[in-house]
Structure 1
Amino acid sequence: MATIPLSDRSFSRIARLMHGSVGLSYGPNKKSLMHSRLAGRLQRLGLRGFDDYVDLLESADDGGEFQMAVDLLTTNETYFFREPAHFALLQAELQRTRPQQLAVWSAASSFGDEAYSTAMLLADLEMMGCIGPDWSVLGTDISERVLQSAVQGIYPADRLRDVTPQRLKRHCLRGEGDSEGLVQMRETLRERVRFGQLNLCAAIEPLGPFDVVFLRNVLLYFDAKTKSAVVDRVLAQLRPGGLFFLGTAEGRVPCKTPLTVLAPGAFRKETRP
């Protein structure tokens, strides 16, 4: 079956809908990406073209298709201990401060790789006596589909390629038989991580305060104005003096909240107003 073309008109309709509803920004240079992510969905639904698809997305009873479109447009590759320098900095900070209580927020958690990576690190630091036992990790994302997968905590083994053998043994179960090639987080780790759906472009009810916040590799979906608003909205949940991480390629996003640069993509929320 031939691929259904995406006209400029249909692209603009979808781009406006995504920006108005969830803050996602798609300039003309993202047209091919949008087409590649959504074309197969149209074929599976038996639709004649993208205008029909937008009509479905805008309908009052879309059968969950709008959420599916958001999932398809925002899901990217992720893996455990991505950008390891951030985890090394976090470990050094916690070994220095030795907190007895600790709350961490993975604000764009996707499939949960980042949240569980953090939980592995914290569990190991607790075992070493560097932090107290009262710690928790919250992972949030706009996609229900990825969150359902995150709760299960099952991953292809390649996604854990940067996890040390010792950590794999302590925190993971290797699949056998039909599950060979898969890895599941042990229950003792999964019970320390909570997941919930959250739209970062809408008002955020009090979730924290948190001592550490990760907001990595999600701002690329937003325009400049939305980026600044999202960062300030997220930083309102972070304690003064807390650590804040962005993707290293995202640079420093202009925001009203005072931040001190610690390393590429790593910041401390200043204690002054």
Structure 2
Amino acid sequence: MSIPQLCDDSFSRIASLMHSAVGLSFSQSKKPLMNSRLAGRLQQLGLRGFEDYAALLESADDGGEFQVAVDLLTTNETYFFREPAHFALLQSELQRSRPQRLAVWSAASSFGDEAYSTAMLLSDLQAQGSIGGDWSILGTDISERVLQSAVQAIYPAERLREVSDQRLKRYCLRGEAESEGLVQIRESVRSHVRFGQLNLCMPIDDIGTFDVVFLRNVLIYFDPPTKSAVVDRVLSRLRPGGLFFLGTAEGRVPCNTPLTVLAPGAYRKGPAK
């Protein structure tokens, strides 16, 4: 069977649906990416072409296929302690402020690498007496599939390439036999982390307020107006003076919430003093 090719009409239909439903933005330059990410799915479903797939996504009874398409179009590489300068800054700030309670939100948590990286850091700081034991991390994502994986907390060892040997010993279990090459995060870390599904383009339920928010490497999927709306929506859940992290390659996003720049991709909520 030949690989299905995405025509302009089907691309426009799928892109329009993704934008209206979940805020994802796909310019014409993303057409090859959409083709490559979804072509295999068409073959799995036995569909003749992207016209049929677009019709399936548009139907009221899609059998959950829309969520599958979102998963395929938004999954990107992730690994533990990505952009280490952010974690170093977080450590420095917490060692200075020494909070007894701490709430962190990983707002685009994907497979959980970011949430568990933060949990390892906070576990270290708690052991050092720099923070209290009352800390928690919420990881949210639009993809149910990646959240299910995050809860299991099992990863290829290569994804933990930036984790120190000491942390690997303290916080990870190495797989053996048929599980060789896999690593599971220990329960002592996982007990501080919970996950839930959330669409950043919709009003956010009362999930509480946070002292630290990560919103990294997800804004690339949104157009400029959606980016600004998402950032303000997320920042409404960050307490004044809290820390906010964007992907360093994403640059500062225009928003109505005052932010003070601390470092590339790192901000404090509130105007500079």
| Correspondence for 1:95 | 95
Structure 1 range deviating more: 249-258 or 58-67: 58-67
| Correspondence for 2:147 | 147
Instruction: Encode CA deviations 1:232-268: one digit per residue, 9 max, x unaligned.
Output: 0000000000000000000000000000000000000
| Correspondence for 2:68 | 68
**Alpha-carbon shift at residue 63 of structure 1 (Å):** 1.0
**1:67-146, aligned counterparts within 5 Å?**
67-146=67-146
**Alpha-carbon shift at residue 61 of structure 1 (Å):** 1.4
**1:192-211, aligned counterparts within 5 Å?**
192-211=192-211
CA distance in 1, matches of 2:58, 2:71: 16
4+ runs deviating over 2 angstroms: none
CA distance in 1, matches of 2:268, 2:206: 20
| Correspondence for 2:182 | 182
Give the aligned residue type for 1:16: S
**Alpha-carbon shift at residue 188 of structure 1 (Å):** 1.2
CA distance in 1, matches of 2:139, 2:107: 6
CA distance in 2, matches of 1:115, 1:172: 14
Give the aligned residue type for 2:6: L
- Give the secondary structure class of the aligned counterpart of 1:42: helix
Instruction: Encode CA deviations 1:195-241: one digit per residue, 9 max, x unaligned.
Output: 00000000001212100000000000000000000000000000000
- Give the secondary structure class of the aligned counterpart of 1:82: coil
CA distance in 1, matches of 2:237, 2:205: 9
CA distance in 1, matches of 2:157, 2:64: 31
| Correspondence for 2:216 | 216
Query: Normalised by the size of structure 2, how large is the TM-score?
Result: 0.99
8 A Cα contact 2:260 2:271, kept in partner? no
Please provide the CA RMSD for this pair.
0.8
CA distance in 1, matches of 2:169, 2:98: 25
Give the aligned residue type for 1:195: F
Query: Normalised by the size of structure 1, how large is the TM-score?
Result: 0.99
**1:166 matches 2:189:** no
CA distance in 2, matches of 1:208, 1:255: 21
8 A Cα contact 1:213 1:238, kept in partner? yes
Give the aligned residue type for 2:83: E
- Give the secondary structure class of the aligned counterpart of 1:95: helix
8 A Cα contact 1:240 1:271, kept in partner? no
Give the aligned residue type for 1:67: Q
| Correspondence for 2:244 | 244
8 A Cα contact 1:100 1:131, kept in partner? yes
Instruction: Encode CA deviations 1:25-77: one digit per residue, 9 max, x unaligned.
Output: 00000000000000000001000010100111111111110000000000000
CA distance in 2, matches of 1:248, 1:7: 34
CA distance in 2, matches of 1:208, 1:80: 26
| Correspondence for 1:267 | 267
**1:32 matches 2:32:** yes
8 A Cα contact 1:260 1:269, kept in partner? yes
Give the aligned residue type for 1:50: F
CA distance in 1, matches of 2:57, 2:171: 41
8 A Cα contact 1:241 1:271, kept in partner? no
**Alpha-carbon shift at residue 191 of structure 1 (Å):** 1.1
- Give the secondary structure class of the aligned counterpart of 2:61: coil
- Give the secondary structure class of the aligned counterpart of 2:104: strand
Instruction: Encode CA deviations 1:95-152: one digit per residue, 9 max, x unaligned.
Output: 0000000000000000000000000000010000000000000000000000000000
- Give the secondary structure class of the aligned counterpart of 1:131: coil
- Give the secondary structure class of the aligned counterpart of 1:35: helix
**1:19 matches 2:26:** no
**Alpha-carbon shift at residue 271 of structure 1 (Å):** 6.4
